[in-house]
Amino acid sequence: MNVLLLKEPRDGESGLDPYIKELASQGHKATLIPVLSFKFVALNTFSDKLFQPEKHGGLIFTSPRAVEAVKMCLEAEERREEWNKLVKDKWNKKSIYVVGKATAALVRSLGLNPLGEDTGTAEVLSRVIIEREDTNIPPLFFPCGSIKREVLPTALRENGVPLETLTVYQTAEHPDLEKNLKNYYTEQGTPASIAFFSPSGVKFCLEVVRRLSGEQIAQIKFAAIGPTTQDAMTAEGLCVACAAEKPTAEHLAAAIAKALQ
């Protein structure tokens, strides 16, 4: 059956996207349509902070995009050299927190040792940080996107863990989103299942999906990558058929395959 994945392609992945591969192994044909576009901002400020690890108690990454911003700060050869010789080891003496395996893999490619890749959500990660960190540390540094949720900053603030945030990328709707969705429906018809990967994906896609699906929307099995996205879908009145137990390709494919049985 046809499955529509409303997500960005995996960065740095050669070959097939893992979600498409996993669904194919379950006998389903998945198509990926990117929902978001990203613009990097404040990279000079970000770079300065990255090269002063002594001023911070650790790092927090909750998205692959924030790690991509680090890579952009290291594009100049002398910066990369300084990072490899001096800076990354100083950060590795502190805690580098991440949500999810994709972000953890990118953090490792910078030579950093991530903690918390199995947490899966900002809520769970914030509990890990609160358990591990003292309130008298220098602030943890959290590079983030323009539409980050306040779950993690609020939890840390309420528990007295110092935090400094910096917006390093802005998120907007992908310019070709509506056109790509229309083309998909024209060529393949209404999919058996549609998977959402973020609350912003729900915000940007749902109206178009409803319009294109018409009465057939009742037959679509809607899937969520995790609880946050599921909540956003439910808030919009969608009936969520399944959610991944963990935010991985294996777990989502298994959930969708079960829902489509």
- For residues 57 and 164, state if they share a domain: yes
Number of structural domains, the chain? Answer: 2
Last residue of a domain, one of 137, 172, 207: 172
- For residues 148 and 254, state if they share a domain: no
Residue 146 is encoded by which pair of tokens? 């323009």
By three-state DSSP, how is residue 252 classified? helix
Last residue of a domain, one of 148, 172, 196: 172
- For residues 15 and 89, state if they share a domain: no
* pLDDT at residue 132 tops 80: yes
- For residues 165 and 215, state if they share a domain: no
- For residues 79 and 164, state if they share a domain: yes
pTM: 0.79
Instruction: Note down the domain range covering 235.
Output: 2-35+175-260
pLDDT tens string 23-68: 999 999 999 999 999 999 999 999 999 999 999 999 999 999 999 9
- Cα separation, 50 vs 59, whole angstroms: 9
- For residues 27 and 45, state if they share a domain: no
- For residues 181 and 162, state if they share a domain: no
pLDDT tens string 67-124: 999 999 999 999 999 999 999 999 999 999 999 888 999 999 999 999 999 887 899 9
- For residues 208 and 92, state if they share a domain: no
Query: What residues contact 5, with CB distance under 8 A and at least 6 apart?
Result: 17, 19, 20, 30, 31, 32, 33, 195, 197
- For residues 115 and 56, state if they share a domain: yes
- For residues 135 and 48, state if they share a domain: yes
* pLDDT at residue 14 tops 60: no
What is the greatest pairwise CA distance in the chain? 60
- For residues 70 and 114, state if they share a domain: yes
- Provide the H-helix boundaries in the chain: 18-25, 43-50, 64-73, 77-82, 88-92, 101-109, 122-132, 151-158, 177-188, 199-213, 227-235, 249-259
The CATH number assigned to the domain holding 60 equals: 3.40.50.10090
- For residues 130 and 189, state if they share a domain: no
